[in-house]
Amino acid sequence: MSFPLSPTNGQQATLNGIVYSYSTSTSAWTRINGSTLTYTAINLTSTTASTGTNTGALIVAGGAGIAGNLYVGNTIYSNGYAISTGTISSNNIPVMLNPSTSTFYQGIATTFTITNYDYFTTYSTTSTTGSASVSGNTITYTPSATGTNNLTVIGGINSRTVTFTVGQTSIVASYIVVAGGGGGGASYNAALRAGGGGGAGGFRSSVPGSPSGGGASAESQITLVRGTTYSITVGSGSSGGQGASGSSGFSAVRGNNSSIIGGSVSITSTGGGGGIGTGGTVCSSLYNGGSGGGSYYSNVSPGTGTSGQGFNGGGGSGDLTVGGGGGGAGSAGVYGSGPGTNAGGQGGAGVQSSITGSALYYAGGGGGSANCSVKSGGSSVGGNGNYYGTTAATNGAAYTGSGGGGAGAYTGSNLSGNGATGVVILSYPTYIGAPASTTGTPTVITTGSNYVYKWTGNGSITF
């Protein structure tokens, strides 16, 4: 069928089911709006992709009314937002859900903002653990368990699921806290007088299966809380006593305390007792400590250790010629022997710990002075006592909290060994992640599934 050859103004004609009207002013046929073209099916074979409203195999300038189901083989977009059902990972949270943080912790509420809020009239949520609620375009979610969690937001029949990992709010940690060791005692340079070894700094440990000092079992592990700053204090060792010809002897003072303090955590180890020298001050506040300092004479009691931290020091001989060993975290200092053997007392043993991944000794007592043979410090970390006329006393091993060796009559100045600075070490699971901040430049070690932070000076840690 074709159009009439001599149409009049306003004349209508139907062609292939479409109604047209003729206008003499334009000399043209115009399709009348509202007319319908009916086909059983239209098959568009073009595979042109659509990236917007003006691209694709089918482009419609106006709206589209569809009476039946609509099947879409890929993503549906509305005003640039993907609104089809789908699951995404925590590394690619979509524009649809903007979290208030990139980290999630057990028991701490996190909010999500639905940025395309207007595209659904109502929302609901489900979650793997904990509770979630919706108010307007804000979701508040509080996970109740660690590990992988899912939060699903439902709008109409559409949904989005966000998967993320939830960490612990609290961190269970093991520690060793070792105080500074006591210096050795010294005598004046006459008549073969003696000096006792310095006591080891107090040794406290919560490493499962390893002991604390003084024969105690491991203490309970501590719980650190995110957002709390924990102050680390590392006690220095005390200087050894010093004697000279014609002078009085010197007793060393006690080493300094070490600690972890913050929130509900308060762990303090007591400094090691100073060794007592012949003619020096005899004062319990000087030679009692984490482990007790050794004495120079059988009638002068050695220092006592602190329960759960260390042992007592050893006493000297009855003739003032040999000193007792300082107490260690693992055993008491040995008493010096009198005439006949004239052997100073060995320093008390330290305690071995593998918290850093290596089996190391800490908190050995210093050896007492002798006039026949050198007496060593405990566990090879306590300082050695001097041997009259030939061998000087030595310091406790660095950063072990061990006691210094005692000094008796010795050619020149009679210098006893210094107590060693202590150490504070924390260990916690690697899945917790790195702390938010630390101070004091701790050494960081990874051993097995644990991070280990080791301080040899004052500092702090915050998760």
CATH code of residue 157: 2.60.40.1080
User: Where is 104: in which H helix or E strand?
Assistant: strand 104-105
Q: Please give the pLDDT value at position 245.
A: 37
Average pLDDT, the chain: 84
What per-residue confidence (pLDDT) applies to 37? 54
Asked if the structure places residue 68 within a domain, the reply is: no
Cα–Cα separations (whole angstroms), residue 282 to 237, 303, 321, 423: 19, 10, 17, 28
Please give the tally of structural domains in the chain: 3
- Is residue 211 a part of any domain in this protein? yes
Of the candidates 151, 167, 183, which is a domain's last residue?
Answer: 167
378: in domain? yes
314-318, 332-336, 405-409: which has the minimum mean pLDDT?
A: 405-409
- In which domain, by residue range, is 148 found? 81-167
**282 or 275, greater pLDDT:** 275
3-state DSSP call for residue 162? strand
21-35, 249-263, 343-357 — most confident range: 343-357
Q: Choose among 227, 231, 106, 187: nearest CA to 368.
A: 187
Give the DSSP H/E element, type plus range, for residue 111. strand 110-114
Compute the distance between CA of residue 132 and CA of residue 399 in angstroms, rounded to an integer. 50
**240 and 346 share one domain:** yes
90: phi then psi, degrees, rounded to nearest 5: -65, -20
Question: What integer is the mean pLDDT of 54-64?
Answer: 77
Instruction: Please indicate, yes or no, whether residues 189 and 327 belong to a single structural domain of this protein.
Output: yes
Q: Please give the pLDDT value at position 86.
A: 42
pLDDT cut 90: percent of the chain above it: 44
Q: Does 429 lie in the same domain as 296?
A: yes
Query: Do 163 and 182 fall into the same domain?
Result: no
Burial zone of 60 (CB within 10 Å; 0-12 exposed, 13-18 middle, 19+ buried): exposed
Judge if 179 and 152 occupy the same domain. Answer: no
Lowest mean pLDDT among 114-128, 133-147, 165-179, 374-388: 114-128
Highest mean pLDDT among 40-44, 115-119, 297-301: 297-301
Confirm whether 63 is domain-assigned. no
250 & 342 share domain: yes
pLDDT of residue 421: 98
Q: What is the C-alpha radius of gyration for the chain, rounded to an integer number of angstroms?
A: 41
Sheet with 265-269, edge to edge strand ranges = 265-269, 258-262, 229-233, 459-462, 437-439
Please indicate, yes or no, whether residues 372 and 329 belong to a single structural domain of this protein. yes
Of 119, 142, 167, the residue that ends a domain is 167
Q: Please report the sign of the dihedral spanned by the C-alpha atoms of residue 438, residue 208, residue 403, residue 391.
A: negative
- Residue-wise pLDDT for 69-122, tens only, equals 777 777 666 655 555 444 333 333 344 566 777 778 877 888 888 765 545 556
238-280 pLDDT, tens digit each: 998 765 433 334 778 899 999 999 999 999 999 999 999 876 5
- Residue 47 within a domain: no
Please give the Cα distance from 317 to 296 (Å, whole number). 7
pLDDT of amino acid 1: 59
Say if 132 falls within a structural domain.
Answer: yes
pLDDT surpassing 80 at residue 180: yes
- Whether residue 410 lies inside any domain: the answer is yes
The pLDDT assigned to 41 comes to 65
| Mean local confidence (pLDDT), 440-452 | 97
- Same domain for 239 and 339, yes or no, is yes
**92/212 same-domain check:** no
For position 24, what pLDDT does the model report? 86
pLDDT at 81: 53
Residue 147 lies in a domain: yes
- Residue 436 pLDDT: 92
248 and 116 assigned to the same domain: no
DSSP calls for 339-403: TTT--PPPPPP-EEE-TTSS-EEE-PPPPPPBSSS--PPGGGTSPPPPBTTTB---PPPTTTTPP
Residue 162 sits in the same domain as residue 220: no
Are 173 and 163 in the same domain? no
